[in-house]
A and B are shown apart, each in its own frame.
Chain A
Amino acid sequence: MNADPIVGRAVPRRDGPAKVSGAASFTAEVPVEGLAHAALVCSTVAAGEITGIDLTEARSAPGVVAVMTHHNAPAIRIAPLLITLRGASFTRAPVMQDARIRWNGQPVAIVVAETPEQADHAASLVRVGYAPAEGRLVFDDLKVGAPQPDHVQGEAPAVLRGDAEAALRTAAARVDQVYRTPWHTHCAIELHATTVAWHDERSLTMWDATQAVTHSQATLAEVFDLDPEDIRVVSQFVGGAFGNKMMWSHQILCAAAARLARRPVRLVLSRSDVFRVTGGRTRTEQRVALGARANGTLTALVHEATTTTGINDGFAEQCTFPARVLYGADSFGIDQRVVELHTPANSSMRAPGESVGSFALECALDELAEQLDVDPLDVRAGLEPAAHPTTGKPFSGRHLLEAYRLGAERFGWARRSSTPRSRRDGPWWIGHGVATATYPYTRMPGGRASVTLSADGCATVRTAAHEMGMGTATVQAQYAADHLGLPLDRVRFEYGDSRHPAAVPAGGSAQTVSIIASVVAAARALTAELLHLAAPDSPLAGAGAGADDVEMRDGGLHPRDGGPGESYAAILRRAGRAELAAEGAASPPTETAQHAMHSYGVQFCEVRVHDVTGEVRVSRWLGVFDTGRIINPRTAASQFRGAIVMGIGSALTEETIFDERTGRVLNASLAEYHVPVHADIPPIDVAWLGHPDPMAPMGGKGVGEVGMVGVAAAVANAVHNATGRRIRDLPITPDKVLGL
């Protein structure tokens, strides 16, 4: 431990100079000798069979090296789902193994040529015949009687406590509404890119823009029936992912095509491919019904959600999770249903479930507050449960009331007008809204890390995880420096390569704490090694010390009882060692067995709504978060802000539009799918409480996702406060505001 901790300091990003100067190398930029380039041909129907593929023209186009279809693709086994922790896929759809079409945009051929232009051109010459079948495409027809999934992210699809419907009928105050959110697409600015070089028939290297290095390696091993040891996956800088850069068909196809072409092959998806080949966030339809007494306490909390997946996929979006944890109620009626559609698979997108689920729940609470004529923040505070309301587990740490208080003061919530449509500045109606945020703490099993000490007293920490903007390299170096008792500039962090010890995927805001737990284990193993090495003439030798009797500080090992210690460099020098390495596996994540562990937050927003055009502008924002200890205030603030920005997009502009007749994404470009731009985003104020969670490694909980939760609801509630219009259907576009 460092006496003056580095954890908690706003250290600048280690990769900053590389990123601002163009020196940071992303996947599509890796130099590979003899590289050929690939392009995909994708289905233009949503369901049916391929009747024939004419490759005559494509094969004779200039520069073409190989064309692969289901006729000549190698045997490829089904990719393991991410949820199994044995792979990184969201779909069990076979990859180019048969003539069947499962969604509009499914790859049906891959063309390899000398240049990207030649590959694109040849791909345009592939003629595919289809026998289209009636697809499952119309959500509103299929949602009736939709089945329950087996589980929702490992939890029961339904939670029933008492008779919520009966309680609703007799409640003094009641809200019973349906809320809808559309499909979303992640839209990381870096296009998905992958490059594959086979070394022989059974071994390969894949450079991939992925947020799951180790699990991509495992997926490739499974689908091609190879030994994971013979597969190397490299992924250093990832240009944004948000849950989407997992294992899709394109990496598998690129690998198969490289084997067919007997050349290294690079595939960079086009922007429209990103929308159609990979999956986004499901649309949702959610009923929230609240029954309350006159004092605002809940007699019933009903949250029923229907989401979608592709055909035979497995990801039921956990929209009802906030309703399971946020508020106390006498009875609960929670239920999730899933509709299978001929669309790309549903995938995790920033704060999966909670972001869109909280839109329904937090809008409904606002409606209840209005009905009761109580401040919406006070209604929430009055529902604060003593223990997890549906599991009964004690909370490990929950400081929502403090966040409400701090936020209300900082935002000036008391100055809000409780009467809708009562504040105006010229043509702009002004309104304020609030919503609560929550996101579960998770720590995935299976993470490993190594720590190597060198004779000059420096340490190198290695793990296979990648960097996609969370600041992994920076915060992990901070943590390791403190843990090993070294100055920050003596700690290196190497990552993004499956040759390093296995990492968990970046997901569920779980990666940072998972790596920390691995580093703790590696440091412990290293301590044992050091004690073993310490020669009889070492000051440590006499201490008879075990790993528990010494501490890592001041660049060496020191007995806890205060006796003389020795520096790492001295121990290594005495032993004649150039370096010493130890590896450790993170302890099993048992902390969640006994405790309900979550991040929390509260979002405050001010909007201006144009009287004539119905345009909504977000003019002010504050998010206050309860996410445990913050390792680096600078990178954490950026994560919170970035999540709020994505939430504002979901509130006002973002919608992936599927044509219900053809199943085709109609707005598959950044010109037509509107993510927030500079002009949409005001200065965003963020604050956090910083109370370490007593059960989490180092007291930290995830920060990457909770920032998006509650954002859309806060905007919708503010729009209601500004205009008197309740919009229960995202995005809040001008036509809806004007009631057209």
Chain B
Amino acid sequence: MIVINGTPHDTEITDPRRSLLDHLREDVGLHGPKKGCDQGGCGACTVLVDGRRVLACLTLAAQAEGRSVTTVEGVGRDGGLDPLQEAFIEHDGFQCGYCTPGQVCSAIGMADEVARGVPSRVSPEIGAASFDLSPDEIRERMSGNLCRCGAYNGIVAAIEETYLDGPR
């Protein structure tokens, strides 16, 4: 059983080799998580597992057993979009939109890491309780999510605006 976007799913994992990414896309029918490389190189498949961002292409579906998985389809609120998603639209943080679900999930996971005091290479002080989400921090921490359309400026602006008052 995997809890996906708040709902328990008993969907059969048809092949032991099946990645969490293929399980979500092919078996569960959630196409938000994207496949850009299937080898951990692009971040398009980023989902949240128990609130932490992971690459679904490098995670076996079987590893998610008993855990809670959130995909981009599950980040919205009250049937609408999350403010982060709205900010992506407002700042034109995408063009083709293929990397976008991964960017959105990654940003949510990243904001939580910042709130928990997980440092990055550019953090001023290791061991601080939490960090400001400066554009430099955002760029550093989001660098596992490639955007070949080059929408980076818009993505950073959207994240910065959304978490201006700290991660929620």
Given the interface contacts A13-B89, A679-B139, does A20 sit within 8 Å of B100 by beta carbon? yes
- A622-643 Cβ-contact flags toward B at 8 Å (1 or 0): 0000000000001101110111
* Residues of the A chain whose Cβ atoms lie less than 8 Å from the Cβ of B140: 678-679
Residue pair A670, B89 in contact (C-beta under 8 Å):
no
Bound together, the chains give a CA A686 to CA B90 distance in angstroms of 18
A8 contacts partner chain B, Cβ-Cβ < 8 Å:
no
| B81 and A17 contacting across the interface, CB-CB below 8 Å | yes
Contact B41 A21, beta carbon cutoff 8 Å: no
A55 to B89, CA, bound (A): 50
Query: Would you give the shortest CB distance from A714 to chain B, in whole angstroms?
Result: 16
Tell me, in angstroms, the Cα distance from A356 to B38 when the chains sit together: 31
Stretch of B111-119, B126-134, B153-161 that contacts chain A: B153-161
What is the CA–CA distance of A560 and B102 in the complex, to the nearest angstrom? 52
A28 in contact (CB, < 8 A): yes
Whether A490 sits at the interface, judged by CB under 8 Å, is no
Cα distance, A116 to B57, chains bound together (Å) = 14
User: Shortest CB–CB separation between residue A35 and chain B, in angstroms?
Assistant: 10
Bound complex: CA A18 to CA B101 (Å): 10
Whether A675 lies near B94 (C-beta < 8 A) is no
**Set of chain A residues within 8 Å of B97, measured between Cβ atoms:** 15, 18-20, 24, 237, 239, 469
Contact A17 B89 (CB under 8 A): yes
Contact across chains for B96 and A468 when beta carbons are under 8 A apart: yes
A471 to B92, CA, bound (A): 10
- Report chain A residues within 8 Å CB of B36: 189-191, 239, 271, 670
Q: Closest approach, in angstroms, between the C-beta of A192 and any C-beta of chain B?
A: 11
Q: Determine if B168 is an interface residue (Cβ-Cβ < 8 Å).
A: no
Instruction: Choose among B34, B76, B92 the residue with the greatest number of A CB atoms under 10 Å from its CB.
Output: B92
Q: Are B138 and A678 in contact (CB under 8 A)?
A: yes
Of A18, A634, A643, A677, most B-chain CB atoms within 10 Å: A677
Determine whether B85 belongs to the interface, using a CB cutoff of 8 Å to chain A. Answer: yes
Q: Say whether A21 contacts B85, CB under 8 Å.
A: yes
Total residues of chain B contacting the partner, CB 8 A = 59
State in angstroms the CA–CA spacing of A670 and B55 once bound together. Answer: 14
In the complex, A669→B40 CA distance in Å? Answer: 10
**Chain B contacts with A in 64-101, Cβ cutoff 8 A:** 71-73, 76, 81, 85, 88-90, 92, 94-101
In the assembled complex, A671 has its CB within 8 A of some CB on chain B: yes
Residues in B26-78 with C-beta less than 8 Å from chain A: 26, 30-42, 44, 71-73, 76
Complex: A187 Cα to B44 Cα, angstroms: 13
Q: Which A residues lie within 8 Å of B98 (CB)?
A: 26, 188-190, 237, 239-240
Within 8 A of B (CB), among A1-45: 12-13, 15-26, 28-29
Within B124-168, which residues are at the interface with A (CB < 8 Å)? Answer: 135, 138-140, 142-156
Q: Are A28 and B153 in contact (CB under 8 A)?
A: no
Which residues of the partner chain A approach B81 to less than 8 Å between Cβ atoms? 17, 20-21
Rounded to whole Å, the gap between the CB of A693 and the closest CB of chain B is: 24
A646 touches B150 (CB 8 A): yes
Would A681 and B99 count as touching, CB distance under 8 A? Answer: no
Interface: A544 (CB within 8 A): no
A643 to B95 CA separation, bound complex (whole angstroms): 12
| Neighbouring A residues of B71 by C-beta, 8 Å | 22
Q: Which of A24, A188, A635, A684 contacts B153 (CB 8 A)?
A: A684
Q: Say whether B95 contacts A639, CB under 8 Å.
A: yes
Please classify the interface of chain B as helix (H, G, I), strand (E, B), loop, or mixed, using the class held by over half of its residues.
loop
Task: List A contacts of B135 (CB < 8 A).
Answer: 683
Q: Are B35 and A28 in contact (CB under 8 A)?
A: yes
With an 8 A cutoff between CB atoms, is A645 at the interface? yes
By beta carbon, the residue of chain B nearest A677 is B143
Which of chain B's residues have a CB closer than 8 A to the CB of A681?
Answer: 139, 150, 152-153
CB neighbours (8 Å) of A15 from chain B are 97
Q: Known contacts being A21-B81, A29-B31, A117-B15, is A676 close to B150, with CB within 8 Å?
A: yes
Distance in angstroms from B152 CB to nearest chain A CB is 4
CB-CB under 8 A from B72, the residues of chain A are 20-22
> How far is B97's CA from A638's CA once the two chains are assembled, in angstroms?
13
A671 CA to B55 CA, complexed, in Å: 14
Does A644 make an interface contact (CB < 8 A)? yes
Chain A nearest CB from B31 CB (Å) reads: 4
Contact B92 A240, beta carbon cutoff 8 Å: no
Measured between beta carbons, the chain A residues less than 8 angstroms from B100 are: 19-20
- Collect the chain A residues with CB atoms within 8 Å of residue B31's CB: 22, 25-26, 29
B150 and A683 contacting across the interface, CB-CB below 8 Å: no
Asked if B15 contacts A115 (CB within 8 A), the reply is yes
Bound-state CA distance A676–B145 (Å) is 10
Tell yes or no: A470 within 8 A of B by CB. Answer: yes
- How far is A237 from B34 in the complex, measured between Cα atoms in Å? 13
Cα of A111 to Cα of B101 in the assembled complex, Å:
31
Residues of A within 8 A of B26 (CB): 116
Q: Is A249 in contact with chain B by the CB < 8 A criterion?
A: no
- CB of B143 within 8 A of CB of A189, answer no
Q: Is the CB of A641 within 8 A of B41?
A: no
Contacts of A677 in B (CB 8 A): 143-146
A670 near B42 (CB under 8 angstroms)? yes
Asked whether, in the complex, the Cβ of A638 is within 8 Å of the Cβ of B151, the reply is yes
Chain A residue nearest in CB terms to B140: A679
The list of the 4 closest CB pairs from A to B, nearest first, reads A22-B32, A239-B98, A645-B150, A469-B95
**Interface residues in chain A, defined as those with a beta carbon under 8 Å from any beta carbon in chain B:** 12-13, 15-26, 28-29, 115-118, 186-191, 237-242, 268, 270-271, 467-471, 634-635, 637-639, 641-646, 669-671, 675-679, 681, 683-684
Interface CB pairs A-B, < 8 A, 9: A12-B89, A20-B97, A189-B98, A239-B97, A240-B98, A469-B96, A469-B97, A644-B150, A646-B148
Beyond the given A237-B97, A679-B139, please list 14 additional residue pairs across the A-B interface where CB-CB is below 8 A. Answer: A19-B100, A20-B85, A20-B104, A187-B148, A189-B42, A190-B96, A271-B37, A469-B95, A469-B96, A638-B151, A639-B95, A646-B150, A670-B42, A678-B147
